[in-house]
Amino acid sequence: MIEKHLEITNSTGLHARPASNLVENASKFKSKITIEKEGRSVDAKSILGILSLGANKGSRIRLTTEGEDEEQAAQELIDLLNSFVE
């Protein structure tokens, strides 16, 4: 299992386009991928899960990936999250 901590820096947070973008990309991996914020953990392949986290600019989140492609998943998703600007 891989665990990464990061801060949301884009202005919209994990809503709207960034949220669906994240879900689409997470769904490409076989690993179980979760995002946790303030003790609440959701499936990163679920749009409702991500939206209901209410992660805004400045929120600190934990990304975990577990499965055969966990390394690649962690790397790509971190890159994706860091690439969000809107």
Partner 1 sequence: MQGIGVSPGIAIGEALVLKDVPSVLPERSRLTAGEENERLSRSLSSARRQLEKIRAGAEARLGNKAQILDAQILITEDEELLSLVREKLKEGLTAEAALRDGVEYYANLLENMDNEYLRERAADIRDTGRRIIRDLMGVAETDLTHLGTPCIIVAHDLTPSDTATMAPEHVLGFITDVGGRTSHSAIMARTLEIPAIVGTVRGTELIRTGDSLILDGNSGEVIVNPEPDVLGTYREKQRAQAERKEKLQALKGQPTVTHDGRKVIVAANIGTPKDCEGALRNGAEGVGLFRTEFLYLNREDLPGEEEQFQAYKEVLEAMAPREVVIRTLDVGGDKELPYLGLAKESNPFLGYRAIRVCLDRPEMFKTQLRALLRASVYGKLGIMFPMISSLEEVRRAKGMLAQVREELVSEGVAVSEEVEVGIMIEIPAAAVMSDVLAREVDFFSIGTNDLIQYTTAVDRLNGKIASLYTPYHPAVLRLVRQVIENGHKFGIWVGMCGEAAGDQALIPLLLGMGLDEFSMSAISVLESRELLGRLNYAEAQARVTEVLALGTAAEVKEALKKF
Q: Looking at the annotation, which residues are catalytic?
A: 15
Residue 17 found at the interface with partner 1 (CB under 8 A): yes
**Does the protein bind partner 1 through residue 1 (CB under 8 A)?**
no
Q: If you search the block for the tokens 């209410």, which residue do you land on?
A: 54
Please give the Cα distance from 41 to 83 (Å, whole number): 22
**Closest distance of CB 85 from partner 1, Å:** 13
Within positions 33 to 62, which residues make up the interface with partner 1, using CB under 8 A?
Answer: 42-43, 45-49, 51-52, 54, 56
Q: Does 69 bind partner 1 (CB under 8 A)?
A: no
List helix spans (H) across the chain: 16-26, 47-53, 70-83
